[in-house]
């Protein structure tokens, strides 16, 4: 399994636009120069002076370990298809163009038990509040995880139940009663199982969240 890096950074508008290639769907980030080709990255990117932030996901295609002021060290990401709208959204903000409201993917109110494990190995049971094709909101008891933290989410019981990786996109509330928003990362059996769960929630008639 590829290593997943989770980072948060703010870029000057010109810096973001210099690193964004809309034709190829690639984005250069001046960070993670110690990463390896093929590693996965979840990056929470902000545009300085705009108050705009968005999370993008991608695989490392190129690593620049050394650089100079005009060509800093960092990584070039091939963004996944679901991150391209967010990258374009950031580019609009960086150019100072009007930003229209973007409709998010449908979320359906659904209660599903999950088993979640944090980066330090602690495991807990949690219950979804709503589910979408790409993530969920979870009711969370106890100390909240940090934004950007990577969690392992087990879908179902048994030794062979698939486990998905997810990044914390937001956390709210006051312990012991809080909620967190997760965005799934990667493909494979776990991602297919998650999409099947989301489709089941939609078919069951759960109202849109």
Confidence at residue 101, expressed as pLDDT on a 0 to 100 scale: 46
Mapped onto helix, strand or coil, the DSSP state of residue 61 is strand
Confidence at residue 175, expressed as pLDDT on a 0 to 100 scale: 72
Helix spans in 27-128 (H): 84-95
Report the alpha-carbon distance of residue 137 to residue 62 in Å, rounded. Answer: 33
Tell me how many degrees the CA angle 6-29-89 measures, rounded to the nearest 5: 85
Residues in Cβ contact with 199 at an 8 Å cutoff, skipping those fewer than 6 apart: none
Report the alpha-carbon distance of residue 51 to residue 38 in Å, rounded. Answer: 31
Dump pLDDT digits (tens) for 58-75: 999 999 998 887 789 999
Dump pLDDT digits (tens) for 30-64: 999 999 999 999 898 999 988 888 888 899 999 99
Domains of the chain from N-terminus onward? 4-95 (2.40.10.220), 108-203 (2.40.10.220)
Tell me how many degrees the CA angle 118-156-160 measures, rounded to the nearest 5: 90
> How many Cα atoms are found within 13 Å in the side-chain-facing hemisphere of 171?
16
Confidence at residue 103, expressed as pLDDT on a 0 to 100 scale: 47
Confidence at residue 60, expressed as pLDDT on a 0 to 100 scale: 96
**36 with 72: CB under 8 angstroms?**
no
pLDDT in tens, the chain (209 residues): 678 898 989 999 999 999 999 999 999 999 999 999 999 998 989 999 888 888 888 999 999 998 887 789 999 999 988 788 889 999 999 998 877 645 456 788 889 889 999 877 788 889 999 999 888 999 998 888 888 888 999 987 777 888 888 888 888 987 778 999 998 887 788 888 888 888 888 887 666 65
Q: DSSP characters for 149-190?
A: -EEEEE-SSSTT--EEEEEEEEEEEETTEEEEEEEEE--SHH
Global confidence as pTM: 0.69
Confidence at residue 104, expressed as pLDDT on a 0 to 100 scale: 58
Residue 198's Cβ-count burial label (10 Å; 0-12, 13-18, 19+) is: buried
Report the alpha-carbon distance of residue 148 to residue 167 in Å, rounded. Answer: 6
């Amino acid at each position: 399994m590829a290593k997943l890096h989770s980072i948060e950074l703010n870029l000057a508008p010109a810096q973001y636009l210099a690193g964004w290639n809309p034709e190829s769907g690639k984005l250069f980030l001046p960070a993670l120069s110690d990463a390896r080709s093929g590693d996965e990255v979840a990056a929470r990117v902000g545009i300085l002076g705009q108050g705009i932030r968005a999370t993008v996901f991608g695989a490392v295609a190129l690593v620049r370990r050394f650089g100079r002021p005009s060509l800093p060290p960092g990584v070039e990401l091939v963004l996944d298809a679901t991150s391209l709208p967010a990258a374009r959204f950031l580019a609009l903000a960086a150019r100072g163009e009007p930003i229209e409201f973007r409709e998010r993917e449908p979320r359906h109110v659904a209660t599903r038990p999950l088993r979640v494990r944090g980066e330090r190995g602690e495991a807990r049971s949690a219950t979804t509040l709503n589910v979408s094709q790409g993530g969920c909101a979870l009711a969370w008891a106890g100390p909240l995880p940090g934004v950007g933290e990577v969690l392992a989410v087990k879908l179902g019981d048994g030794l062979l139940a698939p486990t998905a990786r997810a990044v914390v996109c937001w956390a709210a509330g006051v312990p012991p009663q809080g909620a967190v928003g997760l965005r799934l990362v990667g493909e494979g059996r776990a991602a297919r199982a998650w999409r099947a769960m989301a489709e089941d929630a939609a078919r069951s008639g759960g109202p849109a969240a």
